[in-house]
Structure 1
Amino acid sequence: MFKQRLRKFIIFFVSILVATVITGCARNNDKKITIVGSSAMQLLAEQAGNDYRLTHTDSNIVVQGGGSGTGLSQVQAKAVEIGTSDVFAETQKGIDAKVLTDYKIAIVGIVPIVNKGVGVKNLTFQQLKDIFSGKITNWKQVGGKNLAITVINRSKGSGTRSSFEGIVLKGVKPVKAQEQDSNGTVRKIVSSTPGTISYISFPYANDKNIQKLSLNGIAPTNDNVTTNKWQLWSYEHMYTQKNAPKYVKDFIKYMLSTKVQKGLVPKLGYISIDDMKVTRDSNNQVVKE
């Protein structure tokens, strides 16, 4: 008799425990935030999401890359809660910026990188343009070694590519080249392949096996970005639906908080929106100094 009662009690207890776990998971899924898009922003979004969960235990934040184009299309389709992008939504075909809310979270610098064996540390803007448009094909043409130039471009959905081409190429057709969709992959290829050149975001450029290029004698530093002295940079946007739920807005508020802007953002190599001395419009034109 006692054993039967004990068995019933154990079954009842286990049932309550399972129900509690399921309820907790359901609540957790109710507050799930999926963030998709810019690979340049992925590092910041992942770390911020991890930190946020420590103090918001009922939250569930999932961060994925895929490119700015993917982020914008996914948030517009309501497939994700937040779409991250290096470019303004209104500049992208098929995206209705009017149904989205734009939050500028940070700024990221973009730097041309080359394999260390090319023998070049500085280019002019015009030389950079001529390389990526195919007019210059050998490093000896810009003071380097007699070595063919291999261009590694970013994939077409990349916001970093869109920003780079908007600032450097300005409508000139890029040379046909191998395309890669992530900063990490580009860095690895450039570090190991002779004659290569590409471009990546500042937070991914701290690798001794690659050579960061100066442009017109200007070094690629965050201080130079804040004044637009270094012109290769972009905003890191988080886009939500206009009617985003409160728990999503709470996370955005956290991203804009002093803790993130003054702590995590510079720690990871990004620039706080509060530190910029200039602003840009969607056409990459400086509108305020």
Structure 2
Amino acid sequence: MSQKNETLPLILALVITLGILGAGFWWFTNKGGVSLGDLKEEQSNENSPSTPQTNGSVNSSTPKFSLPATVPAGTTIRINGSTSMVKINQGLKNSFEQQFSGTTVQTQAQGTGNGINAVSGGSADIAAISRPLTLDEENQGLVAVSVAQDAIALVVGVQNPFRRGLKQQQVIDIFTGKITNWSEISGQTGTIRVINRPDVSGTHQAFKELVLKGANFGNGSNFETMDRDATTPLLRALGTGGIGYATYAQVASQQTVRTVAVDGLTPEAPNYPYQRTLAYVYKEPASPAVQAFLGFASSSEGQRAIADSQ
């Protein structure tokens, strides 16, 4: 009889405990705002990889082609585009034709925009570009392959009295037309003549984004825009009161101009602020000739030719 009296309270205590636990679980899953479905969904999201977000302005991956063992004699590769890559094009042309006998590399430099249009229209195989492709250009099946780094240098004529450096904000103010006289940044006086490149120039577009932070160039009477994208006429136009810009490789050895330091840094400095990527563009699908040339450009032989040309 005593065992029955001891067992009954134990059974009652177990029933009460199970009831409390069941009520708590019901409240947590229904009143507490969290369902079993929610818990499963959260666990699934935690275990699933996140989707990368892209802005569409740059290729998600850079295709690479291998250095070919041979290239058929009679192969012709047509290149058009940025004047910033004239020396690179020539260096690769000489080295490629020497390594693969009977091949021909034809080069033109009519500006990044014209080069891209030539590839899209089929009159060129490769475009040399000095700015990123736009989303619209990528949607046309165009693909960019990076080949070199470059710096955009500010230049003045060697006879220009201005011998100081500039701050980045001063550069913006000069090229957007807010500062128009040398007296605003130095002891000399006189109008600052801004020698600009045409819109078709990749360097023009890169300068606008990289240097002016997306702002528009000024259009006052002190601005002069060149008729074509060419560095030599621009340097000649500087005179004693002008300022312009060019790829550093094209002006580093010039005796008629000086580069202007920015924030105390010259274009040779690794942390110089105005640096960009130069690239070749082709249209998918890449022809065997295009694959051969781009494979060569990215090889150790091609990179050596690029380094020697800069």
Partner residue of 1:18?
none
- Alignment of 1:210 with 2:257, yes or no, is yes
Equivalent residues of 1:118, 1:139 under 8 A apart: no
Partner residue of 1:6?
none
More strand per residue: 1
SS at match of 1:45: helix
Deviation at 1:98, TM superposition (A): 5.1
Partner residue of 2:194?
151
Equivalent residues of 1:121, 1:211 under 8 A apart: no
- Alignment of 1:165 with 2:213, yes or no, is no
SS at match of 2:109: strand
SS at match of 1:169: coil
Equivalent residues of 1:76, 1:96 under 8 A apart: no
Partner residue of 2:236?
188
Change in 2 beyond 3 A, CA 1:118/1:133: farther
The 5 A counterparts of 1:274-285 are: none
Structure 1 consecutive aligned stretches of length 4 or more whose deviation exceeds 6 Å: none
Equivalent residues of 1:163, 1:233 under 8 A apart: no
Distance 1:257 1:118 in 2: 45
Q: Residue by residue, what CA displacement relative to the aligned partner does 1:97-146 show, whole Å, maximum 9, x if unpaired?
A: 45122210111111000123232330000111111111111112111411
Letter in structure 2 aligned against 1:58: G
Equivalent residues of 2:82, 2:110 under 8 A apart: yes
- For normalisation by structure 2, the TM-score amounts to 0.71
Change in 2 beyond 3 A, CA 1:138/1:118: farther
RMSD of aligned alpha carbons: 1.8
SS at match of 1:161: helix
The 5 A counterparts of 1:78-89 are: 78-89=122-133
Letter in structure 2 aligned against 1:167: L
- Alignment of 1:175 with 2:223, yes or no, is no
Change in 2 beyond 3 A, CA 1:121/1:265: farther
- For normalisation by structure 1, the TM-score amounts to 0.76
Partner residue of 1:77?
121
Distance 1:42 1:102 in 2: 17
Q: Residue by residue, what CA displacement relative to the aligned partner does 1:125-182 show, whole Å, maximum 9, x if unpaired?
A: 0111111111111112111411211000011011101111112212322112222211
Distance 1:163 1:97 in 2: 20
Count of aligned positions: 232
Equivalent residues of 2:80, 2:127 under 8 A apart: yes
Partner residue of 2:149?
107
Q: Residue by residue, what CA displacement relative to the aligned partner does 1:3-44 show, whole Å, maximum 9, x if unpaired?
A: xxxxxxxxxxxxxxxxxxxxxxxx62xx21110001001211
Unaligned 5+ residue runs, structure 2?
A: 1-72
Query: Identity over the aligned pairs, expressed in percent?
Result: 23
Distance 1:185 1:264 in 2: 27
